[in-house]
Amino acid sequence: MPNANHDSPTLPSTNELSQAQRRAVSELLRVSPVADDLARRFQDAGFTLALVGGSVRDALLGRLGNDLDFTTDARPEDVLKIVRPWADAVWEVGIAFGTVGCRKSDFDIEVTTYRSEAYDRTSRKPEVSYGDSIEEDLVRRDFTVNAMAVRLPEKEFVDPHNGLQDLAARVLRTPGTPEESFSDDPLRMMRAARFAAQLDFEVAPEVVTAMTGMAERLEIVSAERIRDELNKLILSDHPRKGLALLVDTGLAKRVLPELPALRLERDEHHRHKDVYEHTLTVLEQAIDLETEGPDLVLRLAALLHDIGKPRTRRFEKDGRVSFHHHEVVGAKMTKARLTKLKYSNEMVKDVSKLVELHLRFHGYGTGEWTDSAVRRYVRDAGPLLDRLHKLTRSDCTTRNKRKANALSRAYDGLEERIARLQEQEELDAIRPDLDGNEIMTILGIKPGPAVGKAYQHMLELRLEHGPMGHEAAVAALKEWWAAQDQG
């Protein structure tokens, strides 16, 4: 593969370029059987095919997966004719935008016709206009590191915008001016933050300037597209980097205004912890506790757990600052924001519940909770208990090592008590000793509100005293029922 143009004033070393190219050759050899086979079919039909964009970038970084992106001069209907007899499966969900998807062996493949313009600058909807050359297609791509291609099957490297050099320098630039790029598709401003977080790249100063000046353009982008981009950023390896960029450029005010609002002013009389910096640290600490890969529910809860603080801040007479009930206010704000961003009902419910419960542990203190209080903690967390453990542990960002160690020991103690109780009584599926049918049989009543009240009473007894045994439970139910009759 030939080198990129070396006329840039900030040249990466020859060694950096050759390493990147060696990695790319190795990666491309791995996918060659499928890629070359497909390219020959396009060639036989009179069309060209090139590996493009993120696939080339990831090949150069040595991290090419099994998702392959191609570009071609063939129109979508011609692409379908070529891939249908060859692929194991074909899908047309993106065909209105010039993209045909298919699967071959272990590879998920997208083939997109050259584009010239991607967006009507006043509309939320992409407006597709096909181009006639790969160079025309590459200039309208979001960033130079995504504007490289490899023509197949000849393996000719195409890099008209010095993307290889920017890749070596770990910097994000746009092929044309950032203003033109972001006018074509304002979501690219969020993508800059996402790639900074995913790849740990710096964003070029002129790109940051354009993002800051054009933040209001995000208003024409649909909530679903913004949500999907935000998810990719939050699930990345370095979300702090991307989130900080969104806040610094003003984009966060349009997407997640609760985050910059955490930058509470401090003065010499009312000093308190920087809630914004604390939040980003909690997010990073929560990530460190993940055991089965990135967890969007946990990460969103960490990011939003304190968003109720600005609305509940009070300056007390003794000079302290308080945020009473910020977890309750924050849970309502979380529900409203995630709903507006079109998250699923289940995601909204789970994240809001974690925000609501994140302070509950601090009532545990030095371990004076009764067994019934521990049972309630488990019952209220339900299937979110493991995430609540992680969120609560992450929420300690104090530099006071003695205080941090004391909190950690206290939570260790709570987890041990939960484990012991679970062994004794299968705590995570707490139910009263009598079910609804037994209650109706014992009391001789039919379904109705009285059964629900009786069931709730027996559940409270179960939480307070643990398992009672059948005879004791029957006696307790009858005693309660007699008191109801007397009332």
Using H for helix, E for strand and C for coil, what is the string for the chain? Answer: CCCCCCCCCCCCCHHHHHHHHHHHHHHHHHHHHHHHHHHHHHHHCCCCEEEECHHHHHHHHCCCCCEEEEEECCCHHHHHHHHCCCCCEEECCCHHHCEEEEEECCEEEEEEECEEEEECCCCCCEEEEECCCHHHHHHCCCCHHHCCEEEECCCEEECCCCHHHHHHHCEECCCCCHHHHHHHCCHHHHHHHHHHHHHCCEECHHHHHHHHHCHHHHHHCCHHHHHHHHHHHHCCCCHHHHHHHHHHHCHHHHHCCCCHHHCCCCCCCCCCCCHHHHHHHHHHHHHHCCCCCCCHHHHHHHHHCCCCHHHHCEECCCCCEECCCHHHHHHHHHHHHHHHCCCCHHHHHHHHHHHHHCCHHHHCCCCCCCHHHHHHHHHHHHHHHHHHHHHHHHCCCCCCHHHHHHHHHHHHHHHHHHHHHHHHHCHHHCCCCCCHHHHHHHHCCCCCHHHHHHHHHHHHHHHHHCCCCHHHHHHHHHHHHHHHHHC
pLDDT at 448 over 50: yes
Query: What pLDDT was estimated at residue 5?
Result: 41
Residue 426: which pLDDT band, with cuts at 50, 70 and 90? low
Strands 126-130 and 99-104, by their bridges, are unpaired
Task: Give me the pLDDT at residue 351, please.
Answer: 97
- Listed by start position, the domains of the chain span 1-169, 171-255, 256-429, 436-486
Average pLDDT of the chain is 85
Q: Give the span between the Cα atoms of 166 and 172, in whole angstroms.
A: 7
pLDDT digits (tens, 9 = 90+) for 176-224: 899 999 988 899 999 999 999 999 999 999 999 999 999 999 999 999 9
Lowest mean pLDDT segment, chosen from 29-33, 239-243, 343-347: 29-33
- Tell me, what's the pLDDT at 3? 42
Contact between residue 198 and residue 237 where contact means Cβ atoms under 8 Å apart: yes
CATH number of 256-429: 1.10.3210
What confidence score (pLDDT) does residue 15 get? 59
Of 51-60, 262-271, 292-301, 435-444, the one with minimum mean pLDDT is 262-271
Residues 464 and 425 sit within 8 Å (Cβ to Cβ): no
Does the pLDDT of residue 65 top 50, yes or no?
Answer: yes
In the predicted structure, residue 245 carries a pLDDT above the cut 50: yes
* pTM greater than 0.75: yes
| b/e burial code for range 145-179 (CB count within 10 A of at least 16 → b) | bbbbbbbbbebebbbbbbbbbbbbbebbbbbeebb
Q: Region 377-387: what's the mean pLDDT?
A: 89
Per-residue pLDDT band for 397 (boundaries 50, 70, 90) equals confident
Q: What is the mean pLDDT of residues 235-259?
A: 96
The pLDDT score that the predictor gives to residue 62 is 82
pLDDT band at 73 (very low <50, low <70, confident <90, very high): very high
Of 92-106, 122-136, 280-294, which gets the smallest average pLDDT? Answer: 122-136
When comparing pLDDT for 399 and 103, which is higher?
A: 103
How large is the average pLDDT for residues 131-139? 88
CATH no., domain 171-255? 1.10.110.30
Q: Which of 253-262, 408-417, 466-475 has maximum average pLDDT?
A: 253-262
pLDDT confidence bin for 324, thresholds 50/70/90 = confident
Which whole number is the average pLDDT over 387-409?
A: 83
Mean pLDDT score, 336-341? 96
Between 3.40.50.2000, 3.40.50.300, 1.10.3720.10, 3.30.460.10, what CATH number should domain 1-169 receive? 3.30.460.10
Query: What are 158's strand-pairing partners?
Result: 149
Q: CA-to-CA distance for 412 and 65, rounded, in angstroms?
A: 40
User: How much is the pLDDT for 239?
Assistant: 97
How many angstroms separate the CA atoms of 207 and 209, rounded?
Answer: 5
Q: Report pLDDT for 382.
A: 87
For position 284, what pLDDT does the model report?
A: 96
Q: Is the pLDDT of residue 120 over 60?
A: no
pLDDT beyond 70 at 269: no
Contact 300, 358 (CB under 8 A): no
Which comes out higher in pLDDT, residue 258 or 127? 258
For residue 69, which of 95, 45, 92, 50 has the smallest C-alpha distance?
50
**What is the percent of the chain where pLDDT is above 90?**
47
Of 98 and 403, the one with more pLDDT: 98
**pLDDT bracket for residue 9 (50, 70, 90):** very low
C-alpha 447/C-alpha 436 separation (Å) is 9
Task: Tell me the mean pLDDT in the region 395-410.
Answer: 79
Residues forming beta bridges with residue 101, ordered by sequence position: 91, 110
